Amino acid sequence: MTQLALVIDLNVCVGCHACVTSCKEWNTSGWAGPMVDGNPYDESPTGTFFNRVQTFEIGTYPNTETVHFPKSCLHCEDPPCVPVCPTGASYKRSDNGIVLVDYDKCIGCKYCSWACPYGARELDEAQKVMKKCTLCVDRVTDPKLSERDRKPACVLACPTNARLYGDVHDPDSEVSVAIRERGGYQLMPEWGTKPANHYLPRRPTRMHIDQDELTRVDNPLRKEDLTTYTGEETLDDVAW
């Protein structure tokens, strides 16, 4: 069975919110109607978003590190929000594992949002139905789009390629390889929801300098060089 998901690389996310705006742009102008905003140009603006980028700080000053943390629906393999829905509006697609809301069946009781530990669902204040990330189901299942474009809007927008998209059940997919080889992990594993989306951890970026880079060991002129040096700059001082 296919389970489409995102793998988000926290090591390269720079917190630019491009995924947030492209998500909003694509989905607010999509088939499901707008994602309504309240007071957009006024005090206390609010609105419906499928995706948000949050920022956390690790450690105490001056030894701190900033983590930008994009958060959207994790498309759990065992989604707790689905069985609680009284109308069946909340469901998980059997063909690709995407968790969706049927906006025409939703009664806006908010029970599914209580049953999501990640806060991934948001009630649209104007349409009064529950909304959530669709993994751009209208894009990823659209055969009219080219292979390159058949990805969620957030993935295409990310300037640092922090968002990978694919089938986490296919062991050879880009996302499965990333999870396997780069320490992909799930959020709040203690609840047993088995989120399909994974995160790749921060990794320390260290500059590694070989001795070769400081002193040339392969300088062909050295063997034939008969000059006596007295401290002046030579070819050996040029780092490659």
Partner 1 sequence: MHPAFSVIFLTTLIGAGQGLFLAMVTGQLYAIARFLPAQEDQFYAVGSLVALCLLAAGLAASFFHLGRPERAWRAAAMWRSSWLSREVIVLPIVMVLVLAYGVAHWMEWTRPLFRVGESLQVDVTLLLGLVGTLASLVLFVCTAMIYAAVKFLEEWHTPLTVSNFIFFGAASGFMLAAAYSAYIGNPLVTFFGTWAVILTLVGLISRLMHLLRNARLKPNSNVQTAIGVRHSALVQKAQGATGGSFNTREFFHGQSDKTLGWVRIFYLLMVFPLPILLIGAAYASESPTLPIAAFAIQYLGLLAERWSFFAEARHPQNLYYQSVA
Phi and psi torsions of 126, nearest 5°? -95, -45
Strand 198-200, strand 4-9: pairing: parallel
Contact 118, 196 (CB under 8 A): no
Query: Cβ closer to partner 1: 47 or 150?
Result: 47
Shortest Cβ 93–partner 1 spacing (Å): 17
Q: Which of 14, 29, 78, 114 binds partner 1 (CB under 8 A)?
A: 114
Least gap, CB of 52 to partner 1 (angstroms): 3
Measured CA to CA, the distance from residue 161 to residue 215 in angstroms comes to 36
Q: How many residues bind partner 1 (CB under 8 A)?
A: 62
Per DSSP bridges, beta strands 90-92 and 65-72 are unpaired
Shortest Cβ distance from residue 153 to partner 1 (Å)?
A: 17
* Beta carbon nearer to partner 1, 105 or 222: 105
201-to-121, 186, 198, 216, 232 alpha-carbon distances in Å: 24, 10, 10, 36, 47
Single residue of 57, 142, 174, 213 touching partner 1 by CB under 8 A: 57
Which residues sit at the interface with partner 1, rule CB under 8 A? 17, 20, 39, 43-49, 52-60, 66-67, 69, 71, 80, 83-89, 105-111, 113-119, 121-123, 125, 127-129, 185-191, 199, 201-202
